Amino acid sequence: MNIGSIFIILAILLLTALYIAHPLLQKTSSKVGQDTNVHSSLLAERERLLSTIEELDYDHELGKIAKEEYTRQRQILLIEGAAVLKKLEQSDQESASTPEKTNDSLDALIVARRQELREKKKGDFCPKCGHKIKKSDKFCASCGSDL
């Protein structure tokens, strides 16, 4: 074996070792990935809570849930929502972007989401009895009210 082939073999071994060690040397990318996962899971939880509160409000408006139960459930959901917003705020502060969110902003988000979903659902249910209707119906098939 001549000296040229030994250098080529050593170079290939060195490149292979660097290629294999490269992921082990990058510790910061896994931290960023975990932060991103936590942030996206918090955003998903916030959306779930907003949806749940909107559905609870809609059921209460239709009379499907008692006022005491509605008040209790809504309070629990608002507390959970505030906790999620605090975690989101802490996550944002750690990543150097700090939007301010309070309980008032949670209520504003709920109102905006409720308005958005009402516009989507308009015509899906009777406003008096909650029976499912078609957009082409002029009267409710269940209670007979004018649509």
pLDDT digits (tens, 9 = 90+) for 31-41: 555 667 888 88
pLDDT of residue 98: 39
Place of tokens 């505030």: 82
pLDDT digits (tens, 9 = 90+) for 85-113: 898 888 777 765 434 445 667 778 788 88
Please state the rounded mean pLDDT for residues 19-48.
77
Give the range among 64-73, 116-125, 132-141 with minimum mean pLDDT. 116-125
81 CB-contact burial (10 Å; exposed 0-12 / middle 13-18 / buried 19+): buried
Torsion of CA 14, 16, 19, 20, to 10 degrees: -110
pLDDT of residue 130: 75
Q: Distances in Å between the alpha carbon of 69 and those of 28, 119, 134? A: 47, 26, 30
Checking if the pLDDT of 16 tops 50, the result is yes
Please state the rounded mean pLDDT for residues 121-138.
74
With b for 16 or more beta-carbon neighbours within 10 A and e for fewer, the 49-68 pattern comes to bbeebbebbbebeeeebeee
What are the residue boundaries of the structural domains of the chain, listed by start? 36-120
Q: Rounded CA gap, 139 and 147, in Å?
A: 5
End-to-end C-alpha distance for the chain, whole angstroms: 93
pLDDT digits (tens, 9 = 90+) for 53-80: 999 999 999 989 899 999 999 999 999 9
Instruction: Compare 146 and 45 and report the one with higher pLDDT.
Output: 45
pLDDT of residue 121: 56
Checking if the pLDDT of 20 tops 80, the result is yes
pLDDT of residue 132: 77
